[in-house]
């Protein structure tokens, strides 16, 4: 039977690739992001390619009321969520601590920590009631090792690591699985967003090595979500072969 997969940040990168991967396997999708036009185009493509049913939620995860209400008020046919891929997030800026922009810090904390929590709690309430579900939080290698000028982005991803551990413990009594996936450098729109539209600087991030792709992360998420009911991958870090830590990359 088709599972219902709720993906945040589905308009680009990892989230979009996850939508394509799960749709190809016959699952149905709840797609959340701010850019509604992109979600609509994706939903149409998946309908044409795989006959996928999708429900679109155009929302900003920072908006606590909107997120909570939209999830609480899901139509009955979409209310039983099997898997949440809690992925929406961003880095903004790459600056020394004392020079960084406070507004960038606020946006990252509000999105990567508070937004992730709002979605997770609203979905966890439903999963607790149904005594079934799997939450996959997308952290980062930046949540395992801090790097120069990574300061608050790293802190938000350390928070995702801690929140995932805490959720796993608190949700045990409801039989809900919690998996944290921590990717290394992956080429998506991530760097373009981080460097505020400066494509030259964004492209330099991936110079001289073959980074991960959205499809790589989708394959891992799909694997984690397909394991038997008694098996849960708690924590998983993946990098491309040319990356050995958040600062060690073997460039050609």
Contacts with ligand 8X3 by CB under 6 A: the residue count is 6
Q: Which stretch binds ligand NDP (CB under 6 A): 12-20, 45-53, 97-105, 236-244?
A: 12-20
Torsion of CA 29, 33, 35, 41, to 10 degrees: -10
Complete DSSP assignment for 88-124: ---------GGGS-HHHHHHHIIIIIIIHHHHHHHHH
Task: Return the residues of window 15-74 that contact ligand NDP according to CB under 6 A.
Answer: 15, 33-35, 60-62
Measured from the CB of residue 199, what is the shortest distance to ligand 8X3 in angstroms? 16
Task: Return the residues of window 155-194 that contact ligand NDP according to CB under 6 A.
Answer: 183, 185-186, 188-190, 193
User: 19: which 2 tokens?
Assistant: 């939508």
Structural contact between residues 56 and 31, judged by C-beta atoms closer than 8 angstroms: yes
- Which residue's Cβ has the minimum distance to ligand 8X3? 140
Decide: is 246 part of the binding site for ligand 8X3 (CB under 6 A). Answer: yes
What is the contact mask toward ligand 8X3 in residues 175 to 214, using x (rule: CB under 6 A)?
A: ----------x-----------------------------
Q: Which is nearer to ligand NDP, 89 or 133 (CB)?
A: 89
Strands across the sheet with 28-33, in order? Answer: 54-58, 28-33, 4-8, 83-86, 134-138, 177-183, 235-238
Decide: is 142 part of the binding site for ligand 8X3 (CB under 6 A). Answer: yes
Token pair 């406070």 in the structure block, residue: 102
* Environment class of 180 (CB within 10 Å of its CB; exposed 0-12, middle 13-18, buried 19+): buried
Active-site position among 118, 147, 153, 223: 153
Q: Of 64, 58, 116, nearest to 87 (Cα)?
A: 116
Q: Which does 50 bind (CB under 5 to 8 A by kind): ligand 8X3, ligand NDP, none?
A: none
Q: Is 153 a catalytic residue?
A: yes
Query: Which segments of 36-186 are extended strands (E)?
Result: 54-58, 83-86, 134-138, 177-183
Q: Which residues bind ligand 8X3 (CB under 6 A)?
A: 140-142, 150, 185, 246
Catalytic (active-site) positions = 153
Q: Which residues bind ligand NDP (CB under 6 A)?
A: 8-15, 33-35, 60-62, 87-90, 111, 115, 138, 140, 183, 185-186, 188-190, 193
């Amino acid at each position: 039977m088709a599972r219902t997969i709720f993906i945040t940040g589905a308009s680009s990168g990892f989230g979009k690739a996850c939508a394509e991967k799960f749709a190809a396997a016959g699952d149905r999708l709840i797609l959340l992001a701010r850019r509604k036009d992109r979600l609509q185009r994706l939903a149409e493509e998946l309908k044409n390619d795989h006959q996928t049913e999708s429900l679109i939620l155009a929302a900003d995860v920072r908006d606590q009321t909107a997120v909570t209400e939209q999830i609480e008020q899901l139509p009955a046919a979409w209310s039983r969520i099997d898997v949440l891929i809690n992925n929406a997030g961003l880095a903004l800026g790459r600056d020394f601590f004392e020079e960084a922009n406070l507004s960038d810090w606020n946006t990252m904390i509000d999105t990567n920590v508070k937004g992730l929590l709002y979605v997770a709690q609203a979905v966890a309430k439903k999963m607790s009631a149904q005594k079934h579900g799997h939450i996959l939080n997308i952290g980062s290698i930046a949540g395992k090792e801090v790097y120069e000028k990574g300061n608050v982005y790293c802190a938000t991803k350390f928070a995702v690591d801690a929140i995932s551990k805490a959720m796993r413990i608190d949700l045990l009594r409801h039989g809900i699985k919690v998996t944290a996936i921590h990717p290394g450098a992956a080429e998506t729109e991530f760097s373009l967003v981080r460097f505020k539209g400066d494509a030259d600087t964004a492209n330099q991030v991936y110079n001289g090595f073959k980074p991960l792709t959205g499809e790589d992360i989708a394959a891992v998420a799909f694997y984690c979500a397909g394991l038997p009911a008694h098996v849960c991958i708690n924590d998983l870090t993946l990098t491309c072969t040319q990356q050995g830590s958040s600062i060690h990359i073997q460039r050609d």
